Amino acid sequence: MRKPSLFTICFVIFIASWIFLRYIVGSLISVPIPNSVIVMYMALILIAILVHISVEDSRLSEFLRPIIETLVDENKKVRRIVLVVLIPLFMLGYTYTNIAQKAGPPGDPRDAHPSPPLELTYKDEVIEDVENPYRHLEKDNPEEFKSHVENGRRVYYDNCFYCHGDHLDGQGHFASALNPLPANFQDPGIIPNFQESFFFWRISKGGPGLPKEGTPWNSAMPIWEDHLEKEEIWDVILFLSEYTGYSYREVGH
Amino acid sequence: MRTSIFVLSIIIFLLFSVIFISYAQEAPEVSERGKEVYEESCAHCHGVEGRGDGSAAKNLLPQPRDFTGGIYKIRSTASGELPTDKDLFDIISKGMPGSSMPEWESALSADDRWEVVSYIKTFYEGFKENESPPKEISLDGKIPYSEESVEIGKFFYTQFACFECHGNAGRGDGTSAPTLQDEWGFKSWPANLTENWNFRGGSSTEDIYKRFIGGIAGSAMPMFEDASFGLTIEEAQRYGQLENKVEMTDTEDEEFNTLDEKMGNAYDILDMMTEGLANEEQKQKHAEAMKIFQEKSWHITNYVKSLAPEKRPEPAIGKNALRSQYTVDTLPTIDDAAWGTLEASYFPLVGQIIVEPRQFNPTIDSVNVKSFYNDTEVAFLFIWDDRTNNTEEQENEDFGKTYEDAIAIQFPVKIPQDPTAPKPYFLWGGKKAVYLWQWKASAVNSVTELTAKGITNAEVQEVQGDIQAEGKYTDGQYRLWVKRALKTDDKKDLQIEPGVFVPIAFSVWDGANGDIDTKRVISSWYSFVLEPVPSSRRFIYPPIVALLSLGILVGLRGFVYRRNS
Amino acid sequence: MKTKMLICFALLIACGFGLFVFADDHEEEEMNKLVFSKETYKTMKVNNGGKISGVVKFEGEVPEKKKLAINKDPAVCGVVDKFDESLVVGENMALKNTIVYLMDITQGKDFDKDAKVELDQKECRFNPHVQIIPVGTALTVLNNDKATHNVHIFGTKKNGTSINKQQTRNRKRMKLAAAKGAEGPVEVKCDIHGWMKAWVAYVPHPYFAVTNEKGEFTLEDVPPGEYKLGYWHETCGNNNKEPVVVTVAAGGELKQDFTLKIKK
């Protein structure tokens, strides 16, 4: 078999990288890579290819040979004509669809997990100790710990499951109409990344307690300190990790 | 002797204990795993003892099923029968859309779900006593969907009196709807047949057919019987025709009486069947009549199927945002055919559960919106389903107070300059105010302009602008038409410009569901835009780009050619 | 020592028995229902039986008659004014629709097999408002209206009395499946016409009576003996906790009146 030309190799590598980034990585981590990131990677790959072919004159000419042949060789006439027709047609279609496309509404750039305020409060009372006051029972008094988790379960199903769902997956029966969607506690990126005090803050102050970058005006999360006791909030935090099996980030990490 | 008495007494005591224990545990062969899963996943709504009284039950409607009575709504079995194991398994797996029962397919293994099925069966001893498996509804003789079948189905929908509860257009707005209760004394609304994504038992043709034949036990949905039993489809239609005639000729009268007698005979046989007294010939006749009844039922099923779209519409997010269409003419009024040319944008709604009093059991699914604009004005058509037309506050003995129906359409006072700029809080604003149009069912031809800085902090604007409105209620649906100038002089009003996306949100009140003040259904922020007239650029730029690329190719060839030679 | 052992023995037996009784008692005691004897009723020929009769009267301020709002099918349902029947007080404070019955009778006469057990629907009203149905007898529901009704009996699945059947305008008679056991009274409703309400009680023996307009009831052919006499009324409740004990003599006639108040 004839060895493929340098141009073909480079072309295949370029296309393959794009397919890999756009489709394969996306399906592996279940969240597609944003377009801007793909563009960045593709630019890097292009530069790498250019560097590779331009370090030696011989390589450059080997790379350019098929292009030049296509442009001028008498026996490549068919290929040349096809390209001369196809490329402008493609450009025509591409520009048209881009211009005629309806503009979407401006996206809502939102930081779903903004930094919490410096001080943890419940109503106006400052909470000095940011650790869950019932967490230590897990080791010290498993019976009592269990009763706190059970209370948390009650609190959850009395109040939270409408939006956050029976399975804690953010798919409650009210969720479909909300934008942004309720948090999914089964997502491995949620519970392990935050301390319990972060959850306490988000629950007690709700949507309106978010800083500007969290788009407080969109969130339907109620201010739960208006409805729940302090203990109930800590208990429901225990329940979330017990049910999902994830542990919160520890204080000081 | 002493020892023997002692031993005897011990034996007798043990005997009693055994009797007691076996008595107490007569029914269940407890599935340990099922019990464990049930208590972990189900008990918070259905209660540890299966009475439907878990701690979360208090705010739920429909209420969680009480398993101790053996009454199951969604079955594939005939009326009066228990559900099959597969029925219970399917409900657990798929959940009940439109209620708070979720699907468990994603959270529990199939084995666990089967274990739960056997566990919940222990709550009602009837499952054990039933030796023969419950009688399943036969799906034989299914009539494929066709326009013709839908047309026939529509006739029987009326003759079988479905409209009494489900309404003429199927929106659950029948005249009996306001007084329906389930057997546990809770308010129960007939299904809105145009929203099949809320059908508790699924929306496939077979699902609908089974609900129709088997009824929904415990609810007001009865076991249906043929309203023209013993008559063929043609005869039934003829009977319906004659019945509605004010005056009949003698021959017509005779024809009517013949049909009436035929029907009466068929019903008599039906009673004999119920009592087990029918002879072979009667059984034969009964079987024939039942076959026609099934045909009629499949036609009704096809009609019901035709009332709703294949699936729930996509919400008006992103590309589906509400786009007002430009017209050079005057804007269409409420009944104008022009509205029919637009596809509505779908805004799903949920109960407001942030501020007390809250609405945990919304009855309004969504609001659909269409819009046109011209150089000076914009017109909207807001459409939403509501089973009852409530125009005033009323005291109702059985269901508590009912209030007036209403809607409020919410915009920011000023359009945010860029996407990162803060918007007002989606629930009627906060520090930043929102601008509202409020409409009430008692004053159908006016909207009031409000400014609000919070859900309980709304004010009627002192200067009411020139906004035209017209509202109509027909067959379980409100349509509200609103027209306003794009620009106003009032600083508290929203100023609208073509091409600029404007945040929009809704609050809707169903008075019959106790909605008043903060108790209501709401949406988050969505957006709408006066869709700019498509620019002529799309015909200029693409050819230029195409020519340019052609030029580059030709130039490149020339360059290479010259260098090579 | 022997006596001690015997006491011990007796205590243990009592204990076991107590547990058994306790388990038996676990059966839910339903409020506002009739009391039925657990023993199976035996029929026999009653010769020279006694008769219990009396009048049920209402005590207290009689609420104003409430006219029902007819919001449907006015041509059929709205011709005659209809009133709420949950408390019907006639002349001399006579209380209609009270069930008076023998709670603990275990043998006596058989049901009158020829008696019609029918619930009529006419002008969108159930008639009678309170009705006794022998266990095992099918109820015939009549539709004398040119309107579609649905007969919704709020019984239990267990007893085969959780029934909801449509009766279309074209069906004049409809038989419903018989109850398997004693139960009730349970409510009967027509969901289509929300104001239509009635009560049926499925009973195991014929010693039940429903008071008429004059508040009168009669129980005939009662075998001589001592019985607990009970009553039930939709609005005034029952005397399940303190039934009246009556002694019926052979061929004797006994008068027993009741005075009922609205149940708090």
pLDDT in the model for residue B490? 87
Q: Is residue B26 pLDDT above 80, yes or no?
A: no
pLDDT in the model for residue B29? 55
Question: Is B537–A89 a contact, with Cβ atoms under 8 angstroms apart?
Answer: no
Q: What is the pLDDT of residues B215-229, one digit of tens each?
A: 999 898 988 878 899
Q: Per-residue confidence at B266, pLDDT binned at 50, 70, 90?
A: very high
In a domain, C12, yes or no: no
Question: Is B545–A95 a contact, with Cβ atoms under 8 angstroms apart?
Answer: yes
Helix axes B537-564, A57-72, angle to 10 degrees: 110
Question: Is C170–B217 a contact, with Cβ atoms under 8 angstroms apart?
Answer: no
Q: What distance in Å separates the CA atoms of residue B465 and residue B114, rounded to the nearest whole number?
A: 63
Closest-CA distance, B264 to chain A, in angstroms, reads 48
Closest-CA distance, A174 to chain B, in angstroms, reads 6
C85: containing domain: 30-260
Q: Taking phi first (over 0 means left), then psi (-120 to 50 degrees means alpha), and beta for anything else, what does residue B548 get?
A: alpha
pLDDT in the model for residue A67? 84
Chain C interface test: which of B127, B176, B186 (most C C-beta within 10 Å): B176
Enter the pTM of the model. Answer: 0.82
Chain C interface test: which of B49, B82, B183 (most C C-beta within 10 Å): B183
pLDDT in the model for residue C131? 95
Q: What is the pLDDT of residues B147-171, one digit of tens each?
A: 999 999 999 999 999 999 999 999 9
Q: What distance in Å separates the CA atoms of residue A164 and residue A170, rounded to the nearest whole number?
A: 4
In a domain, C148, yes or no: yes
Helix axes B110-121, B85-94, angle to 10 degrees: 120
Question: Is B56–A178 a contact, with Cβ atoms under 8 angstroms apart?
Answer: no
Q: What is the pLDDT along chain C (264 residues), one digit of tens a residue?
A: 555 655 655 555 554 444 444 444 434 445 678 999 888 999 999 888 999 999 999 999 988 888 888 888 888 888 888 899 999 999 899 999 999 999 999 999 999 888 889 999 999 999 999 999 999 999 999 999 988 999 999 998 889 898 999 898 888 889 998 999 999 899 999 999 989 999 999 999 999 999 999 999 999 999 999 999 999 999 999 998 889 999 999 988 999 999 999 887
List of chains touching C (3+ CB pairs within 8 A): B
Q: What distance in Å separates the CA atoms of residue A72 and residue B318, rounded to the nearest whole number?
A: 48
- CB contacts of B531 in chain A (<8 Å) are 102
Per DSSP bridges, beta strands C258-260 and C50-58 are parallel
Average pLDDT, chain B: 89
Q: How far is CA A128 from the centre of its chain?
A: 33
Question: Is C156–B80 a contact, with Cβ atoms under 8 angstroms apart?
Answer: no
Question: Is B524–A178 a contact, with Cβ atoms under 8 angstroms apart?
Answer: yes
Q: Per-residue confidence at B23, pLDDT binned at 50, 70, 90?
A: very low
Query: Which residues neighbour C89 within 8 Å (Cβ) at sequence distance 6 or greater?
Result: C58, C62, C95, C96
CB C198 within 8 A of CB C126: yes
Q: Looking at residue C199, which CATH number applies to its domain?
A: 2.60.40.420
Instruction: Among A72, A87, A109, select the one facing B561 at the smallest CB separation.
Output: A72
Q: Is residue B197 pLDDT above 60, yes or no?
A: yes
- CB contacts of B326 in chain A (<8 Å) are none
pLDDT in the model for residue A118? 84
Q: What distance in Å separates the CA atoms of residue C204 and residue C187, rounded to the nearest whole number?
A: 18
Closest-CA distance, C169 to chain B, in angstroms, reads 7
- CB contacts of C151 in chain B (<8 Å) are 222
In a domain, C205, yes or no: yes
Tokens of C30: 């339903």
pLDDT in the model for residue C10? 57
Q: Is residue B28 pLDDT above 50, yes or no?
A: no
* Of B452, B206, B203, residue with least CA distance to B312: B203
B175 to chain C: closest CA residue: C72
pLDDT in the model for residue C222? 93
CB A185 within 8 A of CB A163: no
Question: Is B12–C170 a contact, with Cβ atoms under 8 angstroms apart?
Answer: no
* Of C157, C209, C198, C194, residue with least CA distance to C179: C157
Looking at residue A248, what DSSP letter applies?
P
CATH 1.10.760 applies to domain A121-244: yes
Does C127 reach chain B within 8 Å, measured CB to CB?
no
* Of B200, B159, B147, residue with least CA distance to B297: B159
Question: Is B418–A80 a contact, with Cβ atoms under 8 angstroms apart?
Answer: no
Question: Is B17–C170 a contact, with Cβ atoms under 8 angstroms apart?
Answer: no
Does C111 reach chain B within 8 Å, measured CB to CB?
no
Bridge partner residues of B400 (DSSP) = B396
Helix axes A77-100, B537-564, angle to 10 degrees: 150
Does C191 reach chain B within 8 Å, measured CB to CB?
yes
Does C168 reach chain B within 8 Å, measured CB to CB?
yes
Question: Is C13–B267 a contact, with Cβ atoms under 8 angstroms apart?
Answer: no
Q: What is the pLDDT of residues B279-335, one digit of tens each?
A: 999 999 999 999 999 999 999 999 999 999 988 999 998 888 999 999 998 999 999
Q: What distance in Å separates the CA atoms of residue A100 and residue B537, rounded to the nearest whole number?
A: 9
In a domain, C154, yes or no: yes
pLDDT in the model for residue B306? 96
* E strands in chain C: 42-43, 50-58, 99-102, 107-108, 118-122, 125-127, 130-134, 139-143, 149-154, 162-167, 173-176, 183-189, 197-203, 208-210, 216-222, 225-233, 237-238, 244-248, 253-255, 258-260
CB A213 within 8 A of CB A175: no
Does B274 reach chain C within 8 Å, measured CB to CB?
yes
Q: What is the pLDDT of residues B455-510, one digit of tens each?
A: 999 999 998 888 999 999 999 999 999 999 999 988 888 999 988 899 999 999 99
- Residues 41-80, chain C, touching B (beta carbon < 8 A): 71-72
pLDDT in the model for residue B120? 93
> With touching defined as 3+ CB pairs under 8 A, do chains A and C touch?
no
Tokens of B112: 């666990």
In the predicted model, what is the mean pLDDT of residues B416-441? 89
Q: What is the pLDDT of residues B49-79, one digit of tens each?
A: 999 999 888 888 888 999 998 899 999 998 8
Query: Which residues neighbour B431 within 8 Å (Cβ) at sequence distance 6 or greater?
Result: B424, B425, B453
In a domain, C225, yes or no: yes
Does C9 reach chain B within 8 Å, measured CB to CB?
yes
pLDDT in the model for residue C21? 43
- CB-based burial of residue C2 (10 Å sphere; 0-12 exposed, 13-18 middle, 19+ buried)? exposed
Question: Is B180–C191 a contact, with Cβ atoms under 8 angstroms apart?
Answer: yes
Question: Is C166–B224 a contact, with Cβ atoms under 8 angstroms apart?
Answer: yes
List of chains touching A (3+ CB pairs within 8 A): B
Question: Is C191–B2 a contact, with Cβ atoms under 8 angstroms apart?
Answer: no
* E strands in B210-275: none
C149 to chain B: closest CA residue: B161
Q: Tell me how many residue pairs between chain A and chain B have CB atoms under 8 A apart.
A: 149
Q: What distance in Å separates the CA atoms of residue B82 and residue B212, rounded to the nearest whole number?
A: 16
Half-sphere exposure (CA, 13 Å, Cβ side) for A119? 8
Question: Is A104–B321 a contact, with Cβ atoms under 8 angstroms apart?
Answer: yes
Phi, psi of C147 (to 5 degrees): -150, 155
Q: What is the pLDDT along chain A (253 residues), one digit of tens a residue?
A: 567 888 888 999 999 999 988 888 877 766 667 777 888 899 999 999 999 988 888 888 888 888 888 888 888 888 888 988 998 899 888 888 877 777 777 777 778 788 888 888 998 888 888 889 999 999 999 999 999 999 999 999 989 999 999 999 999 989 988 888 899 999 888 899 899 999 999 999 999 899 888 888 989 999 999 999 999 999 999 999 999 999 998 876 5
Closest-CA distance, B561 to chain A, in angstroms, reads 6
Chain C interface test: which of B187, B274, B388, B390 (most C C-beta within 10 Å): B274
Q: What is the number of domains present in chain C?
A: 1
Question: Is C148–B227 a contact, with Cβ atoms under 8 angstroms apart?
Answer: yes
Q: What distance in Å separates the CA atoms of residue C119 and residue A164, rounded to the nearest whole number?
A: 50
- Residues 156-185, chain B, touching C (beta carbon < 8 A): 160-161, 164-165, 175-176, 178-181, 183
Does B38 reach chain C within 8 Å, measured CB to CB?
no
Does B224 reach chain C within 8 Å, measured CB to CB?
yes
Instruction: Among B12, B178, B179, select the one facing C16 at the smallest CB separation.
Output: B12
Domain layout of chain A by residue ranges: 6-100, 121-244
List of chains touching B (3+ CB pairs within 8 A): A, C
In the predicted model, what is the mean pLDDT of residues B259-271? 91
B215 to chain C: closest CA residue: C164
Question: Is C168–B221 a contact, with Cβ atoms under 8 angstroms apart?
Answer: no
* E strands in chain A: 121-122, 125-126
Tokens of A19: 């397919």
CB B504 within 8 A of CB B410: yes
B16 to chain C: closest CA residue: C16
